[in-house]
Amino acid sequence: MTTPGRSRIDGLRAALEASPDNETLLLLLAEALRADGEGDAALDLYERLLATHALPAHDALAVADLALALGRLGVARGCLEVARNGGEVEGLADLELRITTALATSDAPIAQAAETVRFSDVGGLDHLKKVLHRMIVMPYVRPDLYAKYGRRGGGGVMLYGPPGCGKTLVARAVAGECGLPFVPIRIEDIVSPYFGASETNLAEVFAHARALAPCVVFIDELDALAYKRHRAEGDSARRLTNVLLQAMDGVGSDTTDILVLGASNEPWDVDTALVRPGRFDRHVFITPPDADARAVILRRLLRDVHTDARAIDRVVARTDFFSGADLRAVVERAADRAIDRALDTGDEAPLGAADLDHALTDLRPSTLDWLRRARDHVEFSNADDRWEDVAAYLRSRPIRKRL
Ligand SMILES: Nc1ncnc2c1ncn2[C@@H]1O[C@H](COP(=O)(O)OP(=O)(O)OP(=O)(O)O)[C@@H](O)[C@H]1O
Ligand SMILES: [Mg+2]
d(CA 123, CA 301): 13
pLDDT at residue 236, as a whole number? 67
Residues 6+ apart with CB under 8 A from 358: 333, 334, 337
Ligand 1, atom 15: closest residue by C-alpha: 166
Among 258-267, 287-296, 300-309, the range scoring the smallest mean pLDDT is 300-309
258-264, strands of its sheet edge to edge: 182-185, 215-219, 258-264, 155-160, 282-285
Bridge partners, 217 (sequence order): 183, 260
Between residues 158 and 197, which one has the greater pLDDT? Answer: 158
Of 186, 393, 383, the residue nearest 268 (C-alpha): 383
Task: Please give the average per-residue pLDDT across 14-40, as a whole number.
Answer: 93
Among 33-37, 108-112, 297-301, the range scoring the smallest mean pLDDT is 108-112
pLDDT at residue 352, as a whole number? 86
CB 289 within 8 A of CB 325: no
Instruction: Please say if the pLDDT value at position 1 is more than 60.
Output: no
Full DSSP string of 69-102: HTT-HHHHHHHHHHHHHTT--TTHHHHHHHHHHH
How would residue 52 be classed by pLDDT, with cut points 50, 70 and 90?
confident
pLDDT at residue 252, as a whole number? 54
Output the CA torsion 178→181→182→185 (10° steps). Answer: -140
Q: What backbone phi and psi angles, to 5 degrees, belong to 37?
A: 85, 10
How would residue 399 be classed by pLDDT, with cut points 50, 70 and 90?
low
Question: Which sign does the torsion angle of CA 118, 120, 121, 124 carry?
Answer: positive
Between residues 403 and 92, which one has the greater pLDDT? Answer: 92
Task: Please give the average per-residue pLDDT across 229-258, as a whole number.
Answer: 66
3-state secondary structure of 227: strand
Distance 122 CA to ligand 1 centre (A): 9
Among 17-31, 204-218, 292-306, the range scoring the smallest mean pLDDT is 204-218
pLDDT at residue 297, as a whole number? 93
pLDDT at residue 61, as a whole number? 93
b/e per residue 89-122 (b: at least 16 CB within 10 A): eeebeebbebbbebbeeeeeebebeebbbebeeb
Residues 6+ apart with CB under 8 A from 387: 374, 377, 378, 381
The residues lining ligand 1, judged by C-beta closer than 6 Å to any ligand atom, are 122-125, 163-169, 263, 265, 289, 293, 296-297, 324-325
Q: Which of 297, 319, 328, 369 to mutate to test the pocket of ligand 1 (most atoms within 8 A of CB)?
A: 297
Instruction: Please say if the pLDDT value at position 141 is more than 90.
Output: no
The highest-confidence range among 52-61, 96-105, 191-200, by mean pLDDT, is: 52-61
How would residue 304 be classed by pLDDT, with cut points 50, 70 and 90?
confident
- From first CA to last CA, the distance across the chain in angstroms is 73
Instruction: Please say if the pLDDT value at position 240 is more than 90.
Output: no
Domains of the chain: 4-105 (1.25.40.10), 119-285 (3.40.50.300), 291-361 (1.10.8.60), 367-396 (no CATH)
Task: Please give the average per-residue pLDDT across 168-194, as a whole number.
Answer: 85
Between residues 190 and 219, which one has the greater pLDDT? Answer: 219
Question: Which sign does the torsion angle of CA 115, 119, 124, 128 carry?
Answer: positive
pLDDT digits (tens, 9 = 90+) for 79-89: 998 998 887 77
Distance 62 CA to ligand 1 centre (A): 25
Instruction: Please say if the pLDDT value at position 162 is more than 90.
Output: yes
pLDDT at residue 402, as a whole number? 67
One-letter amino acid at 243 equals V
Q: Which of 132, 158, 165 to mutate to test the pocket of ligand 1 (most atoms within 8 A of CB)?
A: 165
Residues 6+ apart with CB under 8 A from 269: 223, 227, 228, 231
Q: What backbone phi and psi angles, to 5 degrees, belong to 224?
A: -75, -35
Closest ligand 1 atom, residue 161 Cα:
21
3-state secondary structure of 281: coil
How would residue 234 be classed by pLDDT, with cut points 50, 70 and 90?
low
